[in-house]
């Protein structure tokens, strides 16, 4: 049986949403989870903190290490990685999940929003990968998994929100480049993206254009990520996976269990035709 038991996962932005769902799924196997996120105290606008996430992970059967970490700061990343290695003696898997979104045109995107997306999405992914790779190269079956879309140069994905697309595609370009760079070292680097919009706190950033009942739950990405992370890293790298595709390969084709409201028409996510 495929399992992540005793594996150590370093997950950015794991205090809520998709990151937390992936953490809970791995914890059910008995994995160690490093929760690297900014949410140290409760926020009335956003549910969950690194501490509440740690409690959920331990209740699910895993071990948790909650670390306040702003991935825009290299010193925070270095300290988080050091603490993870000190606690769990290594890192087997990195999940680059933390992301910032602002869907607006060029004239409507303030510099601070542009900077935030690029600092968190592209730069944060690069720096976290850079910091974890020395340990991943020593691990058995090491994986990096970025929550980012397949690269699609259709202008329709750039025109409405070029700044966000550039930042999100930056994460995908890390997959393209690092998969090639670390293939001989046996480190798998892949991307995972949902076929439909996922019901998370990020929906609020879409201005009401998507209703929760048109979405699936984060658990579909958690199950897909689990399947990818259990694969042989030397035979599974450089892929831009879609959640439905991964689950179909695992023999799972009944996806109604993941719908927020079963039977409702779902909205296809960004960057997918």
Active-site residue, from 114, 135, 164, 169? 164
Provide the CA 28 distance to its chain's centre, in angstroms: 18
> Quick check: is 164 catalytic?
yes
Contact partners, residue 83, CB within 8 Å, separation at least 6 = 34, 65, 67
Query: How does DSSP assign the chain, residue by residue?
Result: ----TT-EEEEETTTSHHHHHHHHHHHTTT-EEEEEES--S-BTTB---HHHHHHHHHHHT-EEEEEE--TT-HHHHHHHHHHHHHHHSS--EEEE---------GGG--HHHHHHHIIIIIIHHHHHHHHHHHHHTTSSS-EEEE--PPP---GGGTTT-HHHHHHHHHHHHHHHHHHHHTTTTT-EEEEEE-SB-B-SGGGGGGTTSS-GGGSB-THHHHHHHHHHHTS-GGGS-S-EEEHHHHHHHTT----GGGBSSTTSPPPBPTT--
Catalytic amino acids?
A: 164
């Amino acid at each position: 049986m495929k399992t992540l038991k005793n594996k150590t996962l370093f997950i950015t932005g794991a205090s809520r949403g998709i990151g937390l769902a992936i953490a809970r799924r791995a914890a059910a196997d008995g994995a160690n989870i490093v929760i690297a996120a900014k949410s140290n105290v409760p926020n009335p606008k956003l549910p969950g903190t690194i501490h509440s996430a740690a409690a959920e992970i331990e209740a699910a059967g895993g071990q948790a290490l909650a670390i306040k970490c702003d991935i825009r700061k290299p010193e925070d990343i270095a300290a988080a990685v050091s603490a993870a290695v000190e606690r769990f003696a290594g890192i087997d898997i990195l999940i680059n999940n933390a992301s910032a979104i602002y869907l607006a045109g060029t004239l409507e995107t303030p510099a601070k929003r542009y900077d935030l997306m690029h600092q968190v999405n592209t730069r944060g992914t690069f720096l976290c990968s850079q910091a974890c790779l020395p340990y991943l190269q020593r691990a058995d079956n090491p994986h990096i998994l970025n929550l980012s879309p397949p690269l699609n140069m259709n202008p329709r994905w750039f025109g409405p929100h070029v700044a966000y697309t550039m930042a999100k595609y930056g994460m995908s370009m890390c997959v393209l480049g690092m998969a090639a760079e670390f293939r001989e070292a046996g480190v798998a680097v892949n991307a995972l993206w949902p076929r439909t919009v996922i019901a998370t706190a990020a929906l609020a950033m879409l201005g009401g254009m998507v209703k929760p009942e048109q979405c699936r739950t984060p658990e579909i990405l958690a199950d897909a990520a689990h399947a990818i992370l259990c694969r042989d890293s030397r035979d599974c790298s450089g892929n831009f996976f879609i959640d439905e595709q991964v689950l179909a390969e695992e023999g799972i084709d009944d996806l109604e269990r993941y719908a927020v409201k079963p039977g409702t028409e779902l909205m296809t996510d960004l960057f997918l035709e």
